[in-house]
Amino acid sequence: MSTEIIESEIAGTVWKIEVSPGDTVEEDDVLIILESMKMEIPVLATTDGTVAEIHVAEGEGVTEGQPLVTLTPGV
C-alpha cells in the first residue's frame, strides 16, 4: 500500500498538531495548523486514511515543501 506525504505549502511555524499517529482521518480534515505572518493556516488531509507518521513538532519552524505528515490511504 502506498503512502501520501503531506508537505508544507508555506514557510512558517507549527502552531498546533491536531492528529496523532494511528488516527483515522477523512479528506479535508485538519491535520496541522501552521502560523505565518500572524495568520493561522490549516494543513488538510488530501485523502481518507490513517496517520502513519508526523514529521514535525509544535513550535518547529518549517519551510515550503517540507514533509509534515505521512498518511496511509484508505479507511
Checking if the pLDDT of 53 tops 70, the result is yes
pLDDT of residue 2: 86
Domain count, the chain: 1
Checking if the pLDDT of 1 tops 70, the result is no
Domain harbouring 46, CATH code: 2.40.50.100
Over residues 3-22, the mean pLDDT reads 97
Residue 37: burial class (beta carbons within 10 Å; 0-12, 13-18, 19+)? exposed
Among residues 69, 65, 67, 66, which one has the least CA distance to residue 49? 69
Q: Which domain does 33 fall in, by range?
A: 4-73
Over residues 36-63, the mean pLDDT reads 97
Compute φ and ψ for 41, nearest 5 degrees: -120, 115
Over residues 11-21, the mean pLDDT reads 98
